[in-house]
Structure 1
Amino acid sequence: MLRRTRTSRGARVGAVVLSLALVAAACGGDDDSSDAEEPAEEPAEEAEEPAEEPAEEPAEEAEEPAEEPAEEPADTAAEEPAEEPASDATTVRWFVGLGTGSQDEQIDRQQALVDDFNSTHDDIQIEVEFVPNETAAQTLATQIAAGNAPDIIGPVGREGSNSFAGQYLDLDPLIESTGYDLSIYPTAQVEAWVDDDGALRGLPFASYPSAMFFNTELFDAAGLPYPPQEYGPDGTAVYGEGTEYEGTWDWAKVEEIGKLMTIDSAGLNATEEGFDKDDTVQWGYIHQWTEPPMAQGTFFGAGKILQEDGTAAIPEQWVEEWNWYHAAKHESGFVPDQTEIDSDLLAGNAFNSGKVAMANTHQWYTCCLFDGDGNAAKFWDLAIVPSYEGNVVSKLHADIFRIHKDTENPDEAFAVLTYFQDDIALDLLTIYGAMPARPDIQADYFANLDATFDQGVTWDVIVAGGQYPDVPSHESYMPAYLESLTLIEELEGEISGDPTLDVDARAAEIEAQLNEIWAAAEG
């Protein structure tokens, strides 16, 4: 059976609305302190990021309950499968919209998969509900508070999941009872989904590792070696082996090469006397749509703000990275500042402009490497992520499916979830534009990308990056999640737009404010 819920396009759900709706649901439920997952982009982070980072969340608009009754009855009836399920069939409700999946162009294709399942299964029938991303969190919170939670939620990334921490089912007992084979997934990706309490509440599905995108044409013009494209045994690698530029491929090397690739209108690079930072026409590097503070901080090492004692402590390596990136924008200038990013030259999509040599971002960024006429950009390839103090982190965005903890049909819900993971995984991933977490179906996915980007992209870099996810994730749960996230992300604009910012002092201020917010939330 198929049920569509279409409400008005709005904005991101606010913390107040969401927390009020969840108060009732929180009473009597297991309080899980961390749910680990874009980027996704989604794009979109999410969504997405993707999006996120192509899918990063829109703003809130109140849901319009009057619209649902106003749906046209004839259309709704027409969407029902031709045959009614057997009366003893178990209905599994699937909620789509908290992450990707509720765009108009995605709905019919998912409906076809649902209809095919329902026509071939007498024991289980799937009922799917599509809700626009902008109102999905509010809708789901209302359902949970009313004791009417769906069985399956997803696909959804970690950030989308965090607003409902404590609401997801531990899958370990079902994995054990069914003998489900986790070996089809890379061990590192399974471990990335293990929560702080040791429970696995989701299986790897859609994966978006990060990599260094680099402009081959700019490197060729400068006569510089390309960044390395293979990780060494310990994850690190050497740049420019056998050349005068030889050295460890780390963030210091990115800065060195980035300055050489940063050019002003007189043709001087950022290392030469007379270089005019305020008249730059080409830049060496950017965090491409990965500038939210917790995301960019992770490039210097994985970490999380919530400590075991329940207090907030910003990881030292994140503050170091924030200082590094702030100086790169406002002192040496090899990274564009906000004014330059918004200029006609870079047009808000800096690397795609062809005027930036390197960009660290996620695989979902292939969504946006096109010119104004829709022609795919062919000037780029992929390199591995640089190390920091010997450690490599290929920051991971990912989407998964969750089962609600209060489902009355855990066995049937798990059967449907594994059907998504196994039988129709490639169909769903194609609809969502996501790389498979399963290595055995990745070749078909990349073959499709090669048809668009036929310059010979080194896709192996993306796959290899999956070995180095950020554990713990930069999107790990925090108390008062939406309020905390909003506070932290104020720093993004400050780093990019304020040359006088005292990063250390601001980080200390944010940490103190988080502790106040969390203490108030406990009270």
Structure 2
Amino acid sequence: MKEASSKTNDHCLSRRSFVILLIMKGSMMKKLAALGLLAVLVITSIAPAFAQDKVTLTWYIGLGTGAQPEQQEVQEAVVDAFNSSQDRIEVVMNVVENSVAYDTLSTLIAAGNAPDIIGPVGTDGSNGFGDSYLDLTPYVEDYDLSIWPEAAVDFYRTDAAGLIGLPLATYPSMIWYRPELFDEAGLNLPPANYGDPYVWDDGTEAEWNIETMTELAKILTVDANGNDATMEEFDPENIVQWGFDYQWYGDGRQIPTLFGNFSLYDPETGEAVIGDAWREGFQWWYDGMWAENFIPNAAQEGSDLLAAGNVFNSGNVAMGNTHLWYTCCVEGTDWDIAPVPSYNGETVARLHADTFRIYEGTEHPEEAVEFLYYLVTDASLDLLGVYGGMPAVIEDQQAFFDGLDETYTQGVNWQVALDGVAYADVPSHEAWFPNYLAARDRVTQFVTLLNSTPDLDVQAELDALQADLQTLFDEAS
């Protein structure tokens, strides 16, 4: 740009010289003057074109987190640093409150004004636009993906859309447990590592699987008289401590994931499917509430005894299954974490993850991928400082856990969280399906029915759910 301006000034000076020579030299000077003037006009017309060569990308924030004032301040600094680091791309932010972010984005897309970058947002939050994201596969061939665990990258690969994101924040799941309650029951603690067996108090070993965890959960479920759920005297109407629960399970697809990876939609056939593993998982959960009583039902979860829904934090649930983000809401130091149990020899530690996505209709996919890669690498620690979440970049993870140790001083076995990423559910339990919001609501209705109603035929209700999902999927197509 400076070079173009210099040339323009030189030619302006030359033009004035030609005017003087024109008076002195006649027609020959007229021709030379005309050529000089033409050069000035050409260079002047080219200079604005150089200025307009910068690509503008819009970053849409609010569909997930990112709209809080302290977050916006960091995001602005990240954008300023990127914009000043090169002269080809200019990023502008569009921050929208979460409560209106979905409708606003829908309007922008319908009007042909879709943003280029969207996020941060989790899998579920992004699924309202799940068929609208760019497949990054052909654009990341020259980028280093080895900085992340392979499973963390594969988490963003789908059969229907390809690679739709790169890892930023990951939230592995694990079993959270209360050592004090195990000690009171005379039980050894759960295993510390994936692949380790559970050791019973008599020294015998058992595979750490759903069956073993269920046995423990029954022993750890206690009524007001001190009887546990394995005893004939146990009173299921007067329980004061439960052996297991899922801590906040969203629309309910988290529940059967302990039993295997699965999606409710087959993109190749367009069919709604509920696999045998998930059918068994929902049946196990239902029986645990209403027949075997080691899992609290909805009314019990909402009671003061179980902290009005924050059940594990109440201290009256011995084991809970949830994600690393639960450090937001657990108090005290009498807890630790353990691997999730296997089922039929398979271990699935479902994963939650936040990142950015690129709209498939972007006019500048290569530049958008360049900015996305910057966000999840160079800028990731700054962003995660206000977003929260375990860094997906391997070399950044130890510092994150060192920070947690300052709050939770009991010596939490964080290695379980790190190792759990390798067992992530692919496809994700939050995977996209057609007519996403309506179909998800139908799943929620099913789960609400199960945890509030005894004496149901669970398999018949699953059949009804599958039929309703098929109707909703067909409506979308």
- After TM superposition, the structure 1 = structure 2 runs for residues 69-468 of structure 1, keeping only pairs within 5 Å, are 88-176=53-141, 179-197=142-160, 199-232=162-195, 237-240=196-199, 243-244=202-203, 246-290=205-249, 292-307=251-266, 308-347=268-307, 348-370=309-331, 377-468=332-423
Q: Deviations over 1:321-375 (max 9, x none)?
A: 11111111112211111111111111210100111100011111111013xxxxx
Aligned partners of 2:201, 2:289: CA distance in 1, in Å? 31
- TM-score (normalised: structure 1): 0.79
Q: Which amino acid aligns with 1:199?
A: G
361-370 or 286-295, which deviates more: 286-295
SS of the residue aligned with 1:282? strand
Identity of aligned residues (%): 46
Distance change >3 Å, CA 340–CA 156, structure 1 → 2: same
203-212 or 155-164, which deviates more: 155-164
Q: Which amino acid aligns with 2:313?
A: N
Aligned partners of 2:204, 2:329: CA distance in 1, in Å? 31
Q: Deviations over 1:446-498 (max 9, x none)?
A: 11111111110010000100001111111112111111111011122112111
Contact between 1:158 and 1:476, CA under 8 Å: does it hold in 2?
yes
Aligned partners of 1:193, 1:291: CA distance in 2, in Å? 20
Aligned partners of 1:448, 1:119: CA distance in 2, in Å? 31
Q: Which amino acid aligns with 1:211?
A: M
Aligned partners of 1:510, 1:469: CA distance in 2, in Å? 26
1:289 Cα deviation from its structure 2 partner? 0.8
Q: Deviations over 1:194-243 (max 9, x none)?
A: 120472121122111100000111112222111112112xxxx3111673
- Look up the match of 1:10: none
Q: Deviations over 1:27-67 (max 9, x none)?
A: xxxxxxxxxxxxxxxxxxxxxxxxxxxxxxxxxxxxxxxxx
Aligned partners of 2:88, 2:413: CA distance in 1, in Å? 45
Aligned residues: 426
Contact between 1:209 and 1:469, CA under 8 Å: does it hold in 2?
yes
Q: Deviations over 1:383-426 (max 9, x none)?
A: 00000111000001111211112212222212211111111111
Aligned partners of 1:334, 1:104: CA distance in 2, in Å? 43
- Look up the match of 1:479: 434
1:505 Cα deviation from its structure 2 partner? 0.7
Contact between 1:293 and 1:322, CA under 8 Å: does it hold in 2?
no
Q: Which amino acid aligns with 2:154?
A: E
Distance change >3 Å, CA 198–CA 483, structure 1 → 2: closer
1:112 Cα deviation from its structure 2 partner? 2.6
Contact between 1:429 and 1:436, CA under 8 Å: does it hold in 2?
yes
Aligned partners of 1:113, 1:517: CA distance in 2, in Å? 41
- TM-score (normalised: structure 2): 0.86
SS of the residue aligned with 2:60? strand
Aligned partners of 2:282, 2:218: CA distance in 1, in Å? 18
Q: Which amino acid aligns with 1:320?
A: E
Q: Which amino acid aligns with 2:405?
A: D
SS of the residue aligned with 1:207? strand
Distance change >3 Å, CA 291–CA 151, structure 1 → 2: closer
SS of the residue aligned with 1:388? coil
Q: Which amino acid aligns with 1:259?
A: K
Query: RMSD between aligned alpha carbons?
Result: 1.7
Aligned partners of 1:151, 1:510: CA distance in 2, in Å? 36
Q: Which amino acid aligns with 1:142?
A: T
Q: Which amino acid aligns with 1:387?
A: S
161-170 or 339-348, which deviates more: 161-170
Contact between 2:263 and 2:429, CA under 8 Å: does it hold in 1?
yes
Q: Which amino acid aligns with 1:165?
A: G
142-151 or 118-127, which deviates more: 118-127
Aligned partners of 1:147, 1:134: CA distance in 2, in Å? 22
1:169 Cα deviation from its structure 2 partner? 1.4
108-117 or 420-429, which deviates more: 108-117
Contact between 2:131 and 2:161, CA under 8 Å: does it hold in 1?
no
Distance change >3 Å, CA 387–CA 207, structure 1 → 2: same
SS of the residue aligned with 2:140? helix
Aligned partners of 1:273, 1:170: CA distance in 2, in Å? 58
Q: Which amino acid aligns with 2:190?
A: P
Q: Which amino acid aligns with 2:277?
A: Q
Aligned partners of 2:296, 2:138: CA distance in 1, in Å? 50
SS of the residue aligned with 1:257? helix
155-164 or 278-287, which deviates more: 155-164
Distance change >3 Å, CA 292–CA 247, structure 1 → 2: farther
1:246 Cα deviation from its structure 2 partner? 2.8
Query: More helix by proportion, 1 or 2?
Result: 2
Say whether 1:491 aligns with 2:446.
yes
SS of the residue aligned with 1:153? strand
Aligned partners of 1:223, 1:246: CA distance in 2, in Å? 16
1:140 Cα deviation from its structure 2 partner? 0.8
Stretches of structure 1 lacking an aligned partner (at least 5 in a row): 1-85, 371-376
Contact between 1:291 and 1:492, CA under 8 Å: does it hold in 2?
no
Q: Which amino acid aligns with 1:275?
A: F
Aligned partners of 2:339, 2:178: CA distance in 1, in Å? 14
395-404 or 95-104, which deviates more: 95-104
Distance change >3 Å, CA 123–CA 291, structure 1 → 2: closer
Aligned partners of 2:301, 2:430: CA distance in 1, in Å? 25
139-148 or 494-503, which deviates more: 494-503
